[in-house]
Amino acid sequence: MSGGTCTVRRLTKRVLLAATVAAVPFAAVAMSAAGSGPPRSIAVSVPADPVSLTPGETAPVPIRVVNPGPSPVAVRVTGQGVNLGDDGHVSFTGEPDPRWDGRTTFPSGVLTVPAQGFLDVSVSVHMPSDISPDLYYVGFLVTPVAQSTGSVVVVNQIGAFFTINVPGPRLRELTADLDVPGFQVGPLYISGLVVGEQVNGMLTTHNVGPSAIEFFGENDATSAPVSGTPSQQRIARSLLPIGRSRSFQVGALPAFPIDLVTMTVTVAYPNETDSATKQIVLTKTMLVISPWLIYCVCAIVGLLVCWRLYRRRARRRAASLPGRFAKARGR
């Protein structure tokens, strides 16, 4: 490094995002190297629900940049291609999205976010006139501007995206699997048996249609013959891009140390129009045996075996006593 020159290294932080229709907050910390000043942090939020835009429409989409730090932060906002993977994993392409390049106008220049405050800006979106009804994603980066301090500075970028909904009928197809592991000891596997305190399963949904899907669901659990309080586990409304899958942990508790537990998982999503819904219902019944019950049974069986052995030995000793007395008199 030459004298008086500041070398800046920019690190693009890949952010894992939960792609749901709930609010999509993102946060990261832009930390400077040792001795180069205090750490700076920013966060980004986008509209909670998909922004509805029609083909050919031009409209602003608001975003907010938050600075919880004690000093102002200068940032730039630029477009970036985004890849949505399975289970809400998100990565950025490192270059503008060809679909939206020239159709999105981001704030120009350097923006200053006040200390312990926020800055509301907007992204102008120019929709194509021939775009099909579906959900579309516009990614962007918020990058703190490095300040020259005569030392090496590391700057993290914040990645985020917002969702655009083009209204209209569309074909949606969703499949789902419910996997509940059974009991296995070596080569022996019993699919309908769980030895444990509860039933644990995995619900996996797959988008096999030509359109993105927003879905939600619930897991209703009951037990028999000892009937406990029915439980319900909500599956939050989630966004599933085309060709992607998403998994959720589901579970249920038995009402007794040995019980039949039934999980009924329902997944609901819109039909071709949002006015009607489709449902997928998956049911799994498992015999649940508490390990403590097995321990108690093994202990009782062990005690019974010990008692039987003790009684057998006592009878043998009692039967041999007359013979011992006869031998003693003969002497």
pLDDT tens digits, one per residue of 251-276: 999 888 888 999 999 999 999 988 88
pLDDT at residue 250, as a whole number: 95
Q: Give the end-to-end CA distance of the chain in Å, rounded to a whole number.
A: 112
pLDDT at residue 147, as a whole number: 63
Ramachandran assignment for 68, one of left (phi > 0), alpha (psi -120 to 50 degrees), beta (any other): alpha
Q: Which three-class secondary structure state does DSSP give residue 87?
A: helix
3 pLDDT higher than 60: no
Q: Report how far residue 297's alpha carbon sits from residue 18's, in angstroms, rounded to the nearest whole number.
A: 46
Q: Which residues have C-beta within 8 Å of that of residue 308, sequence separation ≥ 6?
A: none
Q: Residue 235: what residue type?
A: I
pLDDT at residue 296, as a whole number: 78
Q: Please check whether residue 319 is in contact with residue 301, taking contact to mean a CB–CB distance below 8 angstroms.
A: no
Under the banding of pLDDT at 50, 70 and 90, the label for residue 241 is very high
pLDDT at residue 325, as a whole number: 59
pLDDT at residue 16, as a whole number: 30
pLDDT at residue 291, as a whole number: 78
The pLDDT > 70 percentage for the chain reads 81
Strand partners for 240: 213
The mean pLDDT value for 189-209 works out to 93
Under the banding of pLDDT at 50, 70 and 90, the label for residue 113 is very high
pLDDT at residue 229, as a whole number: 72
According to DSSP, residue 319 is labeled H
By C-alpha distance, which of 135, 137, 133, 136 is closest to 169?
133
Q: Which of 88-102, 150-164, 266-280 has the lowest mean pLDDT?
A: 150-164
pLDDT per residue over 18-59, tens digit each? 333 233 333 333 333 333 444 457 899 999 899 999 999 999
4 pLDDT higher than 80: no
207 pLDDT higher than 50: yes
pLDDT at residue 61, as a whole number: 97
Provide the 10 A C-beta neighbour count for residue 74.
15
- Whose structure tokens read 């019950």? 293
Instruction: Compute CA distances 106 → 27, 63, 77, whole Å.
Output: 20, 10, 6
pLDDT at residue 312, as a whole number: 83
Q: Report how far residue 331's alpha carbon sits from residue 326's, in angstroms, rounded to the nearest whole number.
A: 9
- Whose structure tokens read 């399963």? 201
pLDDT at residue 304, as a whole number: 86
pLDDT at residue 1, as a whole number: 41
**Which helix H or strand E contains 292, and what residues bound it?**
helix 291-330
User: Is pLDDT larger for residue 93 or for residue 228?
Assistant: 93
Q: Please check whether residue 157 is in contact with residue 80, taking contact to mean a CB–CB distance below 8 angstroms.
A: no
Q: Which of 17-21, 165-169, 233-237, 254-258 has the lowest mean pLDDT?
A: 17-21
pLDDT at residue 208, as a whole number: 96
By C-alpha distance, which of 40, 329, 281, 60 is closest to 175?
281
Mean per-residue pLDDT of the chain: 82
135 pLDDT higher than 90: yes
pLDDT at residue 328, as a whole number: 61
Whole-number CA gyration radius for the chain: 32
What the block records as the tokens of 156 is: 């993290």
Q: Residue 267: what residue type?
A: V
Q: Which three-class secondary structure state does DSSP give residue 168?
A: coil
Instruction: Compute CA distances 63 → 46, 96, 116, 190, whole Å.
Output: 5, 18, 17, 53
pLDDT at residue 74, as a whole number: 92
Q: CA angle, 269 as apex, 264 and 273 as ends, to 5°?
A: 150
- Whose structure tokens read 């894992």? 16
228 pLDDT higher than 60: yes
pLDDT at residue 162, as a whole number: 95
Q: Please check whether residue 251 is in contact with residue 231, taking contact to mean a CB–CB distance below 8 angstroms.
A: no
